[in-house]
Amino acid sequence: MTALSDGEATVDAAPAREHQQAGTTDLQALFAPRGVLVVGASADPDKLGGAMARALSAAPVPVALVNSRGGPGMHTTAAEAADHVRRGGGSPDLAVVCVPAPACADVVEACAEQGVSAVLVCAGGFSEAGGDGVEHERTLRQAVARTGVRLLGPNTSGFFVPAAGLRASFVPGAAHLRPGGVAVVAASGGLNHALAFGLARHGSGLSLGVGIGSGLDVTAVDVLEHLAADPGTRAVALHLETVPDGPALLAAVRRTTRRLPVVVLVVGRHDVSGFAASHTGALATSWRTTRALLRQAGAVVVDREDDLVTAAAVLAQTRSAARPRPGAALVTAQAGPGLVVADVLHEAGVHVPELGSTTRATLGDLLPPLTYQLNPVDTGRPGPRHGEVVAAVAGDPAVDVVAVYALTEPVVDLPAAVAAARAACPVVLGLDGPSDEVVPALEAARSAGVPAVVGAQALARATAAVAEDAALRWATTRGAETSRASGAPGSPAGDGPAPVPTVAHGAWDEAAAKEVLDALGVTTPPRQLCHDRSAAHAALDALATGGRAVVVKVSDATIVHKSDVGGVHVGIRDHEALDVALDALAPLGRQPCLVEQMAPGGTDLVVGARRDPVFGPVVLVGLGGTATEVLADVAIAAVPATRAWLEGLPEELRSAALLHGHRGAVPVDTAALAVVLERLGDLLLANPDLAEIEINPLRATAAGLVALDAVVLTQPHASPPDEPRTRTGTRRNDT
């Protein structure tokens, strides 16, 4: 068992100097300024400009206050204030702007003239408010472009860097925040504070806390890039409401997770768009897609902000090595809470392996015979040898993370008992008890370098996060080594991939779409495109062999839903039935028809590739059928993706059991399915005119995957291939 936890738990103690010296990103002036101007400052602490001035006065760099109307301690111009900062030995890097929206652009210009290169704008009242706000935003945007300053906001309550004593926040309570290893990157200034205070209750300090606000210039992407190089940060807690630039976000998360765990909460499962728009000026992006793609990029995705706090706090202290399927173990002193933990781990899809015989023999010596010892291990009340029990479990070769639960009791020093086991693999301690006992125990755990949380639920969520992080590290590093060249068994593409065909803008009927599939190496049924009755009857003779029937379909690129207009006739075995079908097609016009051999029964899937408006090229897979569609049970991945990720994709479906031969159904060859998804992705990436290709159904038969119907949608596209279409206002494109 490789352990990454050793020595990491003390990072919260003194990252301050490192942080201030790091400064290699262009957000240096924002997060580590050598001097600060507060513009719109006030002597009244109840006012925004007063609260901000008071908060920043604690910074160990020169701070100058600006108010055009003057007042005690106020400079009346940015120039005066900048001079004051310089005379104090600083440099006016950052301006914190507390004036209303209409005045912001001028303030930015004036500050930039004085050498300011970073600006925080707190006010709202820009485009999210409509009306004049749209114009205020335009002029502010122009000022940023003209001056080249980096601007955080508008519409945010600011940021804090506790190790640097820097609080650009008008919430006075931010003064209580301590330095530490977690960075909070929140869409909302309010949530930045809420998460920071939540982490503080967990005993976790912050390396940085940022509320992005409207994200006019500095976005979560910029802050992630900054953090990826910040030695003081050990984990990132990311909160997202909208995603203005999907591919950039995914790239930033990929880069960041190479070094740091990133835990993310995506808000906006439900459409509260009226309220959301009032807040952010943009509608929510797709909740499901955002979550799926962030996970693929390596981020641990959580459902609740309290779980975000727990997971980030624990992952900042301990991280498991990359594993394809990390094993979690539970050592509990009380069975009831242990069942809660086990239930959550199962729900989260965490592997809870049975312990090996060596471990069980050791446990047999240490524990009374009545207790359950396979995993979970139910110890009963902890005894003096509790540490040996935990160490034995942590040392099991199948175990990559251990959760230890107990009520606080005087019998045993739990943090000490757990600390020894950390040499083998990460161990998380969960405690319940009266505050008078839990608080000192948490402090002791902290001192001993043991990540500790309160309650069974938090323990389970933290343990699941450590396991998920380890699995994603494997998928984004080691899993990526399974290259395309490895050739999945059963690949319809044969030994090597065929060249990617060209899809130009135009009208694509089913026959043409299937030719593309053929060229991709995706199996389609034998068929003939027939332009008259005699050709159709000849096709029947050729195809209705070996007991197979044929299906006759109208072939017209303008008819997308053929069944809905009576354009599909199945089960045709003889010429009489064929004539009936052809007669029925006649009212649809004089198009050709497609006569196709009917495929054997099987399990129907829907697969496709399309351009997500936020994230660009993606592939999707789901089960066929209306219920599945209504339940939105679709798995999605950005492309290009690793073969291993695509193979695992169908497992994300709630209906995944259907893929494994439920009730005698044909099981799905997921390796072959991954190749189909990969090829569809390749097609999309290579053809900028291709808007979407969908195979519905792709039938899993005993003989393999067969594409029974396909739709190709195109649109003229001027950009070079692979360039995602970004937009400032994103839209919700699924539920």
**Near a copy of itself in 127-166, by CB under 8 A:** 129, 157
630 binds a copy of itself (CB under 8 A): yes
Among 17, 146, 269, 725, binds a copy of itself (CB under 8 A): 269
Going by DSSP bridges, is the β-strand pair 377-378/328-332 parallel, antiparallel, or unpaired?
A: parallel
Q: Which uninterrupted H or E stretch holds 107?
A: helix 101-113
Query: H or E stretch including 238?
Result: strand 235-240
Q: Which is nearer to a copy of itself, 409 or 722 (CB)?
A: 409
Shortest separation between residue 584's beta carbon and a copy of itself, angstroms:
15
Nearest distance from C-beta of residue 122 to a copy of itself, angstroms:
11
Q: State the Cα–Cα distance between residues 684 and 703, nearest whole angstrom.
A: 27
User: Of 15-23, 262-270, 505-513, 724-732, which part binds a copy of itself (CB under 8 A)?
Assistant: 262-270
CA distances from 280 to 119, 128, 145, 189 (A): 19, 6, 21, 12
Residue ranges in 276-335 that form contacts with a copy of itself under rule CB under 8 A: 276, 278-279, 304-306, 333-335
Minimal distance, residue 153 CB to a copy of itself, in Å: 14
Quick one: 588 exposed, middle or buried, by C-beta within 10 A (0-12, 13-18, 19+)?
A: middle
Please choose, out of 112-120, 418-426, 431-439, 549-557, the segment that lies near a copy of itself by the rule CB under 8 A.
431-439
- Residue 432 near a copy of itself by CB under 8 A: yes
**Secondary structure tally for the chain: helices H, strands E:** 24, 28
Task: Reply yes or no: is the peptide bond before residue 382 cis, omega within 30 of 0.
Answer: no
The reply on whether position 722 binds a copy of itself by CB under 8 A is no
Q: Least distance in Å: CB of 275 to a copy of itself?
A: 5
Cβ–Cβ under 8 Å, residues 285 and 732? yes
- Which residues, 356 to 415, sit near a copy of itself by CB under 8 A? 370-372, 374, 376, 378, 380-381, 407-411
One of 457, 555, 642, 670 touching a copy of itself (CB under 8 A): 457
Tokens 């930015």 -> residue: 108
Of 455, 490, 521, 526, which one interacts with a copy of itself (CB under 8 A)? 455
Cα dihedral value 506, 507, 511, 512, nearest 10: 0
Facing residues of 707 across strands?
Answer: 698
Based on the shown chain and the rule CB under 8 A, indicate whether residue 443 belongs to the binding site for a copy of itself: no
- In three-state secondary structure terms, 466 is helix
Is residue 125 near a copy of itself by the rule CB under 8 A?
yes
Considering the rule CB under 8 A, would residue 570 count as an interface residue with a copy of itself? no
By the rule CB under 8 A, 534 interacts with a copy of itself = no
Binding of residue 697 to a copy of itself (CB under 8 A): no
Q: Which is nearer to a copy of itself, 376 or 415 (CB)?
A: 376
Instruction: Decide whether 127 or 147 has the Cβ nearer to a copy of itself.
Output: 127
Q: How far is the CB of 2 from a copy of itself (least distance, A)?
A: 28
546 binds a copy of itself (CB under 8 A): no
Of the two residues 251 and 416, which places its CB atom closer to a copy of itself in the complex?
A: 416
By the rule CB under 8 A, 734 interacts with a copy of itself: no
Q: Interacting stretch for a copy of itself, rule CB under 8 A, among 28-36, 289-297, 512-520, 658-666?
A: 658-666
**How many chain residues bind a copy of itself (CB under 8 A)?**
96
DSSP assigned state of 155: S
Which two three-digit tokens encode residue 253? 């998360």
Instruction: Looking at residues 40 to 59 of the shown chain, list those that interact with a copy of itself (rule: CB under 8 A).
Output: 45-46, 48
Q: Which of 251, 519, 665, 686 binds a copy of itself (CB under 8 A)?
A: 665
Q: Binding residue for a copy of itself (CB under 8 A) from 631, 685, 686, 713? A: 631
Cβ-based nearer residue to a copy of itself, 60 or 173: 173
Among 17, 258, 270, 478, binds a copy of itself (CB under 8 A): 270
Task: Report the site for a copy of itself in 159-198 (rule: CB under 8 A).
Answer: 170-173, 175-177, 186-194, 197-198
Q: Locate tokens 């073969």: which residue?
A: 643
Contacts of 329 (CB under 8 A, 6+ apart): 352, 353, 355, 375, 376, 377, 393, 394, 396, 399, 401, 402, 403
Q: Binding segment for a copy of itself among 13-21, 144-152, 428-436, 668-676 (CB under 8 A)?
A: 428-436
d(CA 349, CA 150): 42
β-pairing verdict for 603-612 and 690-701: antiparallel
The structure tokens listed for 475 are: 């998928």
CB of 411 to a copy of itself, least distance (A): 6
Host H or E run for residue 403: strand 401-407
The span of 71-79, 256-264, 539-547, 659-667 binding a copy of itself (CB under 8 A) equals: 659-667
What part of residues 467-526 is at the interface with a copy of itself (CB under 8 A)? none
Supply the minimum distance, in Å, between the C-beta of residue 308 and a copy of itself: 10
d(CA 239, CA 50): 28
Nearer to a copy of itself (CB atom), residue 130 or residue 506: 130
**Exposed / middle / buried, residue 571 (Cβ in 10 Å: 0-12, 13-18, 19+):** exposed
The answer to whether the beta carbons of residues 671 and 491 sit under 8 Å apart is: yes
Q: What share of the chain is helix, strand, coil (3-state, %, to 5)?
A: 40, 20, 40
Residue closer to a copy of itself, measured from CB, 435 or 719 = 435
How far, in Å, CA of 201 to CA of 309, rounded?
10
What is the C-alpha to C-alpha distance for residues 586 and 199, in angstroms, rounded to an integer? Answer: 69
DSSP-derived letter for residue 651 is G
Q: Minimum distance from CB of 701 to a copy of itself (Å)? A: 17
Cβ at position 346, least distance to a copy of itself in Å: 4
Tell me how far, at minimum, the Cβ of 548 lies from a copy of itself, in Å: 18
Least distance CB 376 / a copy of itself (angstroms): 5
563 in contact with a copy of itself (CB under 8 A): no
Among 623, 683, 705, 706, binds a copy of itself (CB under 8 A): 623
For the purposes of burial, counting CB atoms within 10 Å of the CB of 547, is it exposed (0-12), middle (13-18) or buried (19 or more)?
exposed
Give 239 or 527: the residue with its C-beta nearer to a copy of itself: 239
Cβ distance to a copy of itself smaller for residue 72 or 434? 434
- Tell me how far apart the alpha carbons of residues 250 and 238 are, in angstroms, rounded to a whole number: 13
Q: How many CB atoms lie within 10 A of CB 723?
A: 12
* Cβ atoms 201, 243 nearer than 8 A: no
Alpha carbons 336 and 372: distance in angstroms, whole number: 13
Rounded distance between C-alpha atoms, residue 326 and residue 347, angstroms:
15
Residue 339 beta carbon to a copy of itself: minimum distance, rounded to whole angstroms: 5
Q: Is 353 in the site for a copy of itself (CB under 8 A)?
A: no
Site for a copy of itself in 63-102 (CB under 8 A): none
Question: CB of 692: closest distance to a copy of itself in angstroms?
Answer: 19
Kindly list the distances between the CA atom of residue 675 and the CA atoms of 5, 118, 276, 474, 721, in Å, as whole numbers in the listed order.
38, 48, 39, 21, 21
- CA-nearest of 200, 207, 244 to 222 is 244
Q: Give the nearer residue to a copy of itself in terms of CB position, either 534 or 626.
A: 626
Nearer CB in complex with a copy of itself: 241/682: 241
Q: Regarding beta strands 452-454 and 427-432, do their DSSP bridges make them parallel or antiparallel, or are they unpaired?
A: parallel
Q: By CB under 8 A, is residue 652 in contact with a copy of itself? A: no
Q: What distance in Å separates the CA atoms of residue 636 and residue 645, rounded to the nearest whole number?
A: 11
Nearer to a copy of itself, 374 or 507 (CB): 374
Least separation in angstroms between residue 561's CB and a copy of itself is 10
The angle formed by the CA atoms of residues 295, 460 and 10, to the nearest 5 degrees, is 80
Q: Give the CB-side neighbour count of residue 518, counting CA atoms within 13 A.
A: 10
Binding mask 208-247 for a copy of itself (x = CB under 8 A): ---x---------------------------x-x------
